[in-house]
Amino acid sequence: MNEFQASHGAGVQRDGAHILPIRVYYEDTDDAGLVYYANYLKFAERARTELLRTLGFDHRSLKDNSGVAFAVRRCAADYRRPARLDDRLEVHTRVMALRGASVEMEQIVKRDGADMVAMEITLACMRYDGRPARLPADVRASFRSLMDSRQWTA
């Protein structure tokens, strides 16, 4: 990780997961001082973007070089515990499955090792005209390398 990544929360990879640190700011909370539920989706989006950057890609270059973008096709979220103002969170992102034009990810927001929100995300790879597109080979290979680097423990 370079100095810019370290100072801008680009995250780290560990056991096949990309981990992005997040600090809860006032703007993330509701009247009760809890993280507003929709903001977890924003945290997850940031984590997926930084995962791509860590792998050497970004949304602009995918558009310019491959003519594709990712869109959330499905999202299931299980809200387990609330996060609060100034909490230090981590978003753990794992690639779970690859298909021709989609990728399935698990994203878990944690605080001090405890699961706060668990999400199952399916991303569709699509052209800018809205039609499905196969995952670019280099992106697929990078996602596959993450899946292969997981250490399974019983």
Catalytic residue among 30, 58, 78, 86: 30
Compute the chain's Rg from CA coordinates. 16
Active site residue 31: no
**How many Cα atoms sit within 13 Å of 92 on the Cβ side?**
18
- What are the residue numbers of the active site? 30
